[in-house]
Chain A
Amino acid sequence: MQQNPAVSVPVKKPHEPQRRSDWKQAVLLLLPMIAFVLVFTYLPAGMSLVLGLFHYHLLGVHTTFAGFTNFKDALTYPIFWIALKNTLIYAVYMVPLTIAGAIGVALLIDHKSRYYAMLRTFVLLPYITPVIATAIGWLWMFNPQYGIFNVVLHWLHLPQSQWLQSPRMAMPSVALYTLWHGLGFNVVIVLSALSSIPKHVQEAASIDGATGWTRFRRITLPLLSPTVFFLLIVTTIGTLQAFSQIYALSGGTGGPAYATTTLLLLIYQTAFQDFHFSYAASMAMLLVLLILLLTLVQNWLSKRWVFYQ
């Protein structure tokens, strides 16, 4: 359509002027978020890469270049290896226990009724409780003389345990608390995945003669596998980051005899009790590398067993 040039207004290109005005507003609206992200994530992430390479002190003393000495010191520090071993062994049983436990409890209470909804409430409740406050009750239950665990073992005529005071049982005791506190979160995720599995698939298999176990093994589990993979990644990271419950249950020491000294607890003690920041930062970097490595391995392995619909 031709317009009379005399009355034509300059034809706007549809988007350009609007885009320019949006640009200014976008900067304004995004600025607060970007500022927070830059200062408290990107900047420290960058610093974490280099902090280990220096001798940094909070007050007075000049920061000097250290090269890899901090890393070398960490790798030749016996406690570092104990902490690494504790962290890895803890993860090796904690991760499968959490996932298997979550699937088991979820299958058990996956039922639409008030009764089972109430039980789901009980299972999830610990997840939102503060760790330090609820660890008190557990410290009491773990008490070797008067705690409920040893009382029950005594009634059952089974050998009692020193629980948190025994170097062998301290970490498993921490695991028990952690399962209690965190399992509900995983159960809710599995329940939500279960609810998205179409009922007719199960029914069809049932009509074809599949037993309960076969249905679980051949239908439910493959359909759950993306969820299991998600839980695997999240639980592994969470397990390697365990801190508050260990601090609470070991009285802040990581004892007895370093039995509950995990990498993060050691990093905390090195940085914020002994104030060796750069040394601790190099350990933190090693922990990050460990997490990265495990995540990559799990990701790679997942191609063999995760089934996407």
Chain B
Amino acid sequence: MSARIARPTPPNRRKILTGFRAVVSLAVGLAFLFPLYIAFVTSLDTAGQVFVFPPHLVPSFDFSSYVRVWQMARWAMYYGNTLFITLTTIIIALATSILSGYALSFLQFKGRNAVFMMFLLVLMVPAEALLIPNYVILHEMNLLNTRWAQILPYGASVFGVFLLRQFFLGLPKSYWEAAKMDGASHLRFLWSVAVPLAKPVLFTISLFIFIGSWNSFQWPLIVTTSHSVQPVEVEVSRLMLAHSVDWRRLSAAGIMTTMPLVVLFLFLQRHIIRGISRGEGLQE
């Protein structure tokens, strides 16, 4: 009986296989890039180029659509709202997670694990169960149709607490003992020793809150009606419904709002990949 033995692949065949893999991979990679590229090309088309058959793939670099779309809406205001909502969410979520992450690692008290469990249980609550009740709560708080309605529900980041607690637990207890000798309080130690050491973790948390908050659409759509408090994404959706055949300008609007994130991604890719591998990207 002859066993099946994998013979070493002859060098020629291996070369072909390697090349084949490289080509197929490239095709897959480009397929993911292509939809962004075609929006980019369309946004730079001249007026006569859009409804042409067959479509073309070389941009004409006519920036008039961008100029026109910039005049079509009060972008500065919408970008301002998005920026305000995103940054405030980051600040609040970082503050709540730093404080509680520290309490759950450096302080000794009864019920520490119970509190941590109470935070982790939040992850088990399905988001769609909260849509309507949270709307009602914000209504009762008189916060509907404000920027705060888009910030406060995201003020607690369980992943933030989880990561910071983990990080603080890994710090040597002797740091705190030494600080205590010098007469430092917990808050002082937290602010001048623990937080600076935790900077990389804080950065990762902020990055994912940034992406989630910048891209959020459903919640702002639900809780706001006046344009003056709405983020960019909601305005883009409104343009999309109102000008559904103006592909050049719509594409320009799409590219305009996608670009900041693409740039961010290209610079911070490493952090994003590491974050996703650890499961942090789930908090959206």
Contact = CB atoms under 8 A, between A and B. Distances in A.
B53 A146 contact: yes
Nearest to A37: B156
A115 B18 CA distance: 12
Contact of A19 (B3, B108, B155, B211): B108
Interface residues of A, dominant DSSP: helix
Contacts of B250: 136, 139-140
A140 B127 CA distance: 31
Contact of B277 (A189, A247, A264, A280): A189
B241 interface: yes
B128 interface: yes
A32 B221 CA distance: 27
B99 A30 contact: yes
A228 interface: no
Interface residues of B, number: 96
Contact of A29 (B39, B52, B102, B258): B102
Contact of A133 (B25, B29, B253): B253
Contact of B276 (A123, A137, A188, A237): A188
B265 A128 contact: yes
A280 B132 contact: yes
B145 interface: no
Contact of A125 (B218, B253, B262): B262
Contacts of B251: 136-137, 140
Interface in B95-139: 95-97, 99-100, 102-104, 107-110, 112, 115, 118-119, 122, 125-137, 139
B103 A140 contact: no
A260 B126 CA distance: 22
Interface in A150-167: 151, 155
A251 interface: yes
B272 A34 contact: no
Interface stretch (B30-38, B59-67, B71-79): B30-38
Given A141-B35, A188-B276, A133 B262 contact: no
Contact of A209 (B6, B107, B135, B156): B6
Q: Which of the listed residues B33, B128, B254, B273 has the most CB atoms from chain A within 10 Å of its own CB? A: B128
A26 B237 contact: no
Contacts of A141: 35, 38
A185 B276 contact: yes
Interface in A1-56: 15, 18-19, 22-23, 25-26, 29-30, 32-34, 36-37, 39-41, 43-45, 47-48, 51, 56
A228 B240 CA distance: 37
Interface string B190-219: 000000000000000000000100110110
B179 interface: no
Contacts of A268: 131, 218, 222
B233 A132 contact: yes
B282 A40 contact: no
B109 A23 contact: yes
Interface string A291-304: 11000000000000
A95 interface: no
Contacts of A264: 128
Interface in B236-271: 236-237, 240-241, 244, 247, 250-251, 253-255, 257-258, 261-262, 264-266, 269
Contacts of B255: 133
Contacts of A155: 54
A44 B273 contact: no
A25 B107 contact: yes
Given A26-B109, A137-B35, A272-B221, 9 more contacts: A30-B99, A37-B119, A40-B156, A44-B134, A125-B265, A129-B36, A134-B254, A188-B276, A192-B276
Interface of B: 3-6, 21-22, 24-26, 28-30, 32-33, 35-36, 38-39, 42, 50-55, 95-97, 99-100, 102-104, 107-110, 112, 115, 118-119, 122, 125-137, 139, 152-153, 155-156, 161, 186, 211, 214-215, 217-218, 221-222, 232-233, 236-237, 240-241, 244, 247, 250-251, 253-255, 257-258, 261-262, 264-266, 269, 272-273, 276-277, 281-282
Interface of A: 15, 18-19, 22-23, 25-26, 29-30, 32-34, 36-37, 39-41, 43-45, 47-48, 51, 56, 58, 105, 108-109, 115-116, 118-141, 145-146, 148, 151, 155, 180, 183-185, 188-189, 191-192, 206, 209-211, 234, 237, 241, 243-244, 247-248, 251-252, 264, 267-268, 271-272, 277, 280-281, 284-285, 287-288, 291-292
